[in-house]
Amino acid sequence: MKINSFGVVSTAIQRPSTHFDERPLGEEISLLVIHNISLPAGQFATPFVDDLFMGCIDCQAHPSFADLKGLRVSAHCFIKRSGEIVQYVPFSKRAWHAGQSEFLGRSQCNDFSIGIELEGTDTTAYTQNQYNALQSLTKTLIYKYPAITRERVVGHCHIAPGRKTDPGDSFDWNHYFAAIF
């Protein structure tokens, strides 16, 4: 797995989203944020996460989607339960994944972070294929962006406490970190 100068992962499926913008000039990528997502909640292998990140979700397809109308969000990558990685935004660009957030007293985490979504929920165990893909991707990211250290790999819950809970209690941080650091 390699990341080119544009921030594109060589082994990921590329699905270019329009939900991104430029990072602030001179901004160093220094934070990795782990999220989870499933649409509808708790259902896997649906087309709806892709539709959301691509900006074409049918908000009438499920009652829980009403709140998604007009929402413009993205992640840099999405890791399916199979371990397949889909990239929506090059790492060199600012994906819209963190929302209102703060890390070590600094707000606007999207400016300096990479967001990785895992297909899952706070309470459903993640698959070994997902851990393998995330660990491999994390190692590659750390090599490309050395300001991302163990202390700067966090969950969405850590940068938006009280507002977000992902990746949840089902995420095994020790297992994840053991293969990286």
Which residues belong to the active site? 117
CA atoms within 13 A of residue 55's CA, in its CB half-sphere: 10
At residue 48, what is the residue type? F
Q: For tokens 């900006």, what's the residue?
A: 55
- CB proximity list for 40: less than 8 A, separation 6 or greater: 46, 48, 62, 64, 65
- CB proximity list for 139: less than 8 A, separation 6 or greater: 180
Give residue 12's Cα distance to chain centre.
14
